């Protein structure tokens, strides 16, 4: 950053990562929806009332315009340099009978800008953006630049088909964890990264690498939150499942919201349980309606999602 640049703290959170169009195949029906894990997290944060900036790489095409309009509708600010691609990437999602989704990606990831002129309370990244070259190197540089001045959160959201070798992906992940404060991952992510470890052991390993808080989601079994001194198991909130698209991203958005609302790092068993329950409720609200449709703040505060 040059000395004449104006640094602004206009945002509570800046999310850095991919945005794409989900092409959803459900039976004989095909529909398109804006998606991408980081974009979903940004959307969820804005719905929860967080001032949210988003740095991504989309095209100046109809699909890119759809993503921009979708994010703006929730109050997300697309940061300068985000429309840097020739075309907008896609992910083809095929829904199974139980609502779970499998994905096939047509994705290019290269960042055309940075966030040096911003000083948000928290910087979040994750998913494909943290692994796929050439953009992954820019993501790491952004995290390094903001570590120590902003809280940094990370969700690897593993997509094995896009990651190359296990050794390479694990090396990238373990290189990023020490410059993050909060790491959230699913039990499937944990099993892929560390096939010989239980979810609890994976959480402890992440803390040993330097994170302050590790959250591991366990699907219908709930989630666990770990700090160097505490481990809390949070039961899942029961919900009828329409599909699971965006559930983990809603959990992540609510986790960030709770972290920023908490205001300090003096965690107790009660505060961790409250944080995990709120994040689980956000995921439960999301799965009971189609697509990546996270809750508003009023919905999240209305109480546990009902079946």
pLDDT at position 116, please?
Answer: 84
* Pairwise CA distance, residues 109 & 57, whole Å: 7
Average pLDDT for residues 294-300, to the nearest whole number? 88
Are 206 and 177 within 8 A, CB to CB? Answer: yes
pLDDT above 70: residue 305: no
* Pairwise CA distance, residues 231 & 215, whole Å: 10
At 151, list the tokens: 């809280």
Q: What is the pLDDT of residues 20-63, one digit of tens each?
A: 998 888 778 888 889 899 999 999 999 999 999 999 999 999 99
| Structural domains of the chain, ranges and CATH numbers in brackets | 13-295 (3.40.1190.20)
pLDDT above 90: residue 194: yes
At 166, list the tokens: 């296990």
pLDDT above 50: residue 294: yes
Helices (H) and strands (E) in the chain, counts: 9, 13
Are 237 and 305 within 8 A, CB to CB? Answer: yes
Q: In what order do the strands lie in the sheet with 13-16?
A: 77-78, 52-55, 13-16, 122-126, 151-155, 182-186, 213-217, 223-226, 231-234
Matching residue, tokens 């991203």: 249
Are 128 and 159 within 8 A, CB to CB? Answer: yes
Are 71 and 78 within 8 A, CB to CB? Answer: yes
Q: Among candidates 237, 253, 252, which has minimal Cα distance to 285?
A: 237
Q: What is the pLDDT of residues 90-145, one digit of tens each?
A: 988 787 777 677 778 888 899 988 898 899 999 999 999 999 999 999 999 999 99
pLDDT above 60: residue 1: no
Tell me what the pLDDT averaged over the chain comes to: 89
* Pairwise CA distance, residues 199 & 190, whole Å: 6
Are 42 and 115 within 8 A, CB to CB? Answer: no
* Pairwise CA distance, residues 145 & 116, whole Å: 8
Phi, psi of 188 (to 5 degrees): -65, -40
Phi, psi of 155 (to 5 degrees): -130, 105
The Cβ of residue 167 has, within 10 Å, a number of other Cβ atoms equal to: 8
* Pairwise CA distance, residues 150 & 116, whole Å: 12
* Pairwise CA distance, residues 181 & 117, whole Å: 21
pLDDT at position 14, please?
Answer: 98
Average pLDDT for residues 251-275, to the nearest whole number? 89
Burial class of residue 161, CB neighbours in 10 A (0-12, 13-18, 19+): exposed
Q: In what order do the strands lie in the sheet with 90-95?
A: 29-35, 20-26, 90-95, 101-106
Entry field: residues in the chain:
307
């Amino acid at each position: 950053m040059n000395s004449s640049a104006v640094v602004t703290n206009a945002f509570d959170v800046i999310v850095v990562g991919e945005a794409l169009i989900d092409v959803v195949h459900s039976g004989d029906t095909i529909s398109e929806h804006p998606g991408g894990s980081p974009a979903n997290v940004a959307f969820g944060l804005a719905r929860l009332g967080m001032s949210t900036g988003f740095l991504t790489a989309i095209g100046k095409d109809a699909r890119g315009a759809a993503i921009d309009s979708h994010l703006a509708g929730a109050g997300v600010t697309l940061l300068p340099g985000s429309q840097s691609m020739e075309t907008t990437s896609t992910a083809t999602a095929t829904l199974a009978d139980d609502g779970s989704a499998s994905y096939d990606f047509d994705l290019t990831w290269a960042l055309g800008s940075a966030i040096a002129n911003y000083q948000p309370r928290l910087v979040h990244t994750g998913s494909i953006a943290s692994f796929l070259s050439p953009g992954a190197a820019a993501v790491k540089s952004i995290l390094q630049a903001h570590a120590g001045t902003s809280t940094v959160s990370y969700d690897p959201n593993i997509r094995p088909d896009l990651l190359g070798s296990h050794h390479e992906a694990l090396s990238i992940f373990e290189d990023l964890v020490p410059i993050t404060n909060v790491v959230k991952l699913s039990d499937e992510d944990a099993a892929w990264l560390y096939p010989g470890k239980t979810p609890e052991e994976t959480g402890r390993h992440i803390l040993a690498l330097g994170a302050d808080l590790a959250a591991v989601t366990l699907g219908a079994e709930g989630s666990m939150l770990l700090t160097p001194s505490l481990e809390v198991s949070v039961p899942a909130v029961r919900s009828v499942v329409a599909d699971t698209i965006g559930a983990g991203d809603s959990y992540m958005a609510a986790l960030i919201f709770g972290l920023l609302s908490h205001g300090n790092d003096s965690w107790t068993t009660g505060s961790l349980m409250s944080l995990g329950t709120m994040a689980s409720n956000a995921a439960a609200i999301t799965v009971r309606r189609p697509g990546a449709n996270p809750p508003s703040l009023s919905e999240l505060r209305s109480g546990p999602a009902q079946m």
